[in-house]
Chain A
């Protein structure tokens, strides 16, 4: 029997440089969190003034006049979502098709070139898209709007009528609509969505792909049975990340739309609104209380994009871990 010596402590004593390193990086992390929490807390505190006056009707009230105490983001939120939904209708087919094209159809150098092009397009400033939408698309998309409203007027959202119910056909009724803003925002978010979807598709396991091809399936059969099921998380996640960007887009929307404060179901007709355009429009003339009301609107937008983004990233992350288990 050997004598049991006293148990040694296994905890290592960090050297001085290490403890300095640790405290410096910890301070950096804490500063980052501090900045970001400051943004959130400040917004919440300042917004609470307006929210306590407006109460729960803030979410449904359509008018915006904080000076008289009657204000809410019913119409604005509706406009924001209209633009975002139109953007998604434009973006999803394009992004899905292009992502499949890049990951499954083309190969070699062309694929690398297209991937770089998509990434580059994601970096183009939004004011450039806004310019294009304002000076080119606005004039050239009106015939399309007129065409849709002529042949699809039996669908309520595509109808363009004035207040007495008469059908409008002149071009001025179609400018600055949610439809045009939606197309521009859609084009802006396509690159983001495409690159996330492409990444998810390219992670579909090779074994399953080859198995499908070896069983005699065509390329589309392989895509339908292997690539799309494995990339489902990427499709949903990429779509939602694009949606988050579309909801928060400011300058392109601000340049194109003509702001109104009523709910407008006719998406082809002039006039819509969005939370970020409202802030850009009204911040300068706002009183102390008006600023608080704008903060409340911004806070609601932030909470919405936050929920959308977190849902999206958790879906993307979950799908990735699933693809690796094969």
Chain B
């Protein structure tokens, strides 16, 4: 609430400048450096008491489990030890916490411990799955021939210095390229249809493509096997495998592109329509460029899923150890199927090759995923620094061009913008009409 000094209100000089209601005594803001600043307190860290509770309970649980296993009772086995240690850790910890706190807090602490242990178990298991594959692949991967040769002249008993998976890499690249050549245009156009055209048929299309994400991959493979291989081509080929991958990837790409296009802010579309553009130009010049990074991410994630699919390829591509560049004739193996084929053999060298192939596949998927994260890290319409600078330079150029057009018009009565003559790209690095961050 403002306190208004009545004596100042009467002065006419003030009235000339301000409305009387707004006159208020000045606020004194403290200058930095006037007040003493204490030591910064940590807000999140646990207290010494809480840390001791955890450490104490941990030591007590390990001690108790070790005593029970092998000293007091006839219990044996590492698994049982872990189970007993975990249960007794929870018991000791709740006992220690309950010394200082009430029941609510004890329950809170126990649940926090359980949540953290679920996370630790899950992440260590998942990281272990990946690390195990890469460690077991260390036998096969260091040999350069592993990625430059094929298995054509190599038998199961040959050492790892012979033979490689070049044919599987080539097969994967060809199959996924054919699948992408169909999936990208068809999938993105369908997603545009769902979002920009709409209507009852679009809803039907969306329902059907959602349903197809439930299609088990082996059934997709079986469909291609029965419909294309048995009826038309009568032989397994890379093309048939690519068809099976297409049936698997198409719904994934449609669904994720649909989500991305829905995130494009409506006011951008409306601005474009208000400028009198057609639907097609709005989609091509506004919607798709805005969603570009998201669409790329959708495609890359679909590719990562498609590359790893084994079961549709198992039925359709056929198994070979020969390099085959022709997708329409002859069997053409791919990386996941090659893994499956290698580890069926009991020979240690073949199993090592299987792990090596799996590691190559895994690194491929990890690489694709990292690229997708780098591109798709930001939402639609958010630009990187380089893109922002480019857009700023382009709009500064536009300003100059418009100013030139305006000054070149003979009609002298047209009011020139006052600042237009002085504007040049160098003098105004930050023009006013920068693209704004979209309000989500």
Residues of A at the B interface (CB closer than 8 Å) are 14-15, 17-18, 20-22, 24-26, 28-29, 31-33, 35-39, 42-43, 46, 93-98, 100-102, 104-105, 114, 116-117, 119-121, 123-132, 134-136, 143-144, 147, 187, 190-191, 194, 217-221, 223, 244, 247-248, 250-251, 254-255, 275-276, 279-280, 283, 291, 294-295, 298-299, 301-302, 305-306, 308-310, 313
Q: Judge whether B174 is part of the interface by a CB distance below 8 angstroms.
A: no
**In the complex, are the beta carbons of B223 and A187 less than 8 A apart?**
no
Contacts of A308 in B (CB 8 A): 214
**In the complex, are the beta carbons of B222 and A279 less than 8 A apart?**
yes
Q: Judge whether B212 is part of the interface by a CB distance below 8 angstroms.
A: yes
**In the complex, are the beta carbons of A17 and B281 less than 8 A apart?**
yes
Residue of B119, B186, B197, B340 touching A31 (CB-CB under 8 A): B186
Residue of A42, A126, A220 touching B223 (CB-CB under 8 A): A42
B330-363, CB under 8 A of A: which get 1 and which 0?
0000001001100100000001001100100110
**In the complex, are the beta carbons of B308 and A43 less than 8 A apart?**
no
**In the complex, are the beta carbons of B362 and A124 less than 8 A apart?**
yes
Contacts of A129 in B (CB 8 A): 129
**In the complex, are the beta carbons of B112 and A294 less than 8 A apart?**
no
Taking CB atoms and an 8 Å cut-off, the chain B residues in 77-100 that contact chain A are 77-80
Known contacts A131-B354, A220-B107; 19 additional CB pairs below 8 A are: A25-B189, A28-B189, A28-B193, A31-B190, A32-B208, A42-B227, A128-B130, A128-B308, A128-B362, A131-B355, A135-B136, A187-B125, A219-B108, A251-B310, A255-B343, A276-B311, A295-B222, A305-B215, A313-B210
Residue of B185, B281, B358 touching A127 (CB-CB under 8 A): B358
**In the complex, are the beta carbons of B129 and A187 less than 8 A apart?**
yes
Contacts of B112 in A (CB 8 A): 105, 219-220
**In the complex, are the beta carbons of A35 and B216 less than 8 A apart?**
no
Q: Judge whether B402 is part of the interface by a CB distance below 8 angstroms.
A: no
Total cross-chain contacts (CB, 8 A): 265
CA distance A231 to B225 in the complex (A): 42
CA distance A298 to B222 in the complex (A): 8
- For residue A133, give the distance in angstroms from its CB to the closest CB of chain B: 9
Contacts of A31 in B (CB 8 A): 186, 190
Contacts of B108 in A (CB 8 A): 218-221
Residue of B105, B216, B351 touching A247 (CB-CB under 8 A): B216
**In the complex, are the beta carbons of A26 and B193 less than 8 A apart?**
yes
CA distance A191 to B130 in the complex (A): 14
Contacts of A306 in B (CB 8 A): 211, 214
**In the complex, are the beta carbons of B220 and A39 less than 8 A apart?**
yes
Q: Judge whether B122 is part of the interface by a CB distance below 8 angstroms.
A: yes
Contacts of B211 in A (CB 8 A): 36, 306, 309-310
CA distance A33 to B193 in the complex (A): 12
* Interface residue tally on B, bucketed by range: 35 or more
**In the complex, are the beta carbons of A25 and B77 less than 8 A apart?**
no
Q: Judge whether B213 is part of the interface by a CB distance below 8 angstroms.
A: yes
Residue of A95, A123, A250 touching B304 (CB-CB under 8 A): A123
- For residue A87, give the distance in angstroms from its CB to the closest CB of chain B: 14
**In the complex, are the beta carbons of A191 and B279 less than 8 A apart?**
no
Contacts A29-B190, A283-B222, A295-B226 known; A125 to B214 CB distance under 8 Å?
Answer: no
**In the complex, are the beta carbons of B129 and A123 less than 8 A apart?**
no
Contacts of A17 in B (CB 8 A): 278, 280-281
- For residue B93, give the distance in angstroms from its CB to the closest CB of chain A: 14
**In the complex, are the beta carbons of B129 and A128 less than 8 A apart?**
yes
**In the complex, are the beta carbons of B129 and A39 less than 8 A apart?**
no
Q: List 27 A-B contacts (CB under 8 A).
A: A17-B278, A25-B196, A26-B197, A32-B186, A32-B190, A33-B204, A33-B209, A43-B222, A94-B121, A94-B122, A114-B119, A120-B369, A123-B304, A125-B308, A127-B336, A132-B132, A135-B343, A143-B77, A190-B126, A218-B105, A219-B112, A220-B108, A248-B217, A276-B219, A283-B222, A298-B219, A310-B211
- For residue A127, give the distance in angstroms from its CB to the closest CB of chain B: 5
**In the complex, are the beta carbons of A96 and B118 less than 8 A apart?**
yes
Which B residue sits closest to A97, measured CB to CB?
B118
**In the complex, are the beta carbons of B247 and A39 less than 8 A apart?**
yes
Residue of B205, B213, B351, B355 touching A29 (CB-CB under 8 A): B205
Which A residue sits closest to B365, measured CB to CB?
A123
**In the complex, are the beta carbons of A276 and B281 less than 8 A apart?**
no
Contacts of A187 in B (CB 8 A): 125-126, 129
Q: Judge whether B115 is part of the interface by a CB distance below 8 angstroms.
A: yes
B133-162, CB under 8 A of A: which get 1 and which 0?
100100000000000000000000000000
Please give me the 9 A-B residue pairs with the lowest Cβ-Cβ distance, nearest first.
A97-B118, A125-B308, A248-B216, A28-B189, A218-B108, A25-B193, A21-B280, A250-B311, A309-B214
Contacts of A219 in B (CB 8 A): 108, 112
Contacts of A39 in B (CB 8 A): 212, 215, 219-220, 223, 247
Q: Judge whether B301 is part of the interface by a CB distance below 8 angstroms.
A: yes
Contacts A36-B212, A120-B369, A218-B105 known; A280 to B314 CB distance under 8 Å?
Answer: yes
Contacts of B212 in A (CB 8 A): 36, 39
CA distance A234 to B132 in the complex (A): 32
CA distance A136 to B343 in the complex (A): 13
**In the complex, are the beta carbons of B343 and A134 less than 8 A apart?**
yes
CA distance A25 to B218 in the complex (A): 30
Q: Judge whether B250 is part of the interface by a CB distance below 8 angstroms.
A: yes
**In the complex, are the beta carbons of A294 and B222 less than 8 A apart?**
yes
**In the complex, are the beta carbons of B254 and A32 less than 8 A apart?**
yes
Contacts of B187 in A (CB 8 A): 32
**In the complex, are the beta carbons of A123 and B311 less than 8 A apart?**
no
**In the complex, are the beta carbons of A21 and B222 less than 8 A apart?**
no
- For residue B440, give the distance in angstroms from its CB to the closest CB of chain A: 14
- For residue B251, give the distance in angstroms from its CB to the closest CB of chain A: 8
Which B residue sits closest to A100, measured CB to CB?
B115
**In the complex, are the beta carbons of B193 and A29 less than 8 A apart?**
yes
Contacts A28-B190, A125-B307, A127-B339 known; A18 to B280 CB distance under 8 Å?
Answer: yes
- For residue B231, give the distance in angstroms from its CB to the closest CB of chain A: 10
- For residue B48, give the distance in angstroms from its CB to the closest CB of chain A: 20
Contacts of B291 in A (CB 8 A): none
Contacts of B310 in A (CB 8 A): 125-127, 250-251
Q: Judge whether B192 is part of the interface by a CB distance below 8 angstroms.
A: yes
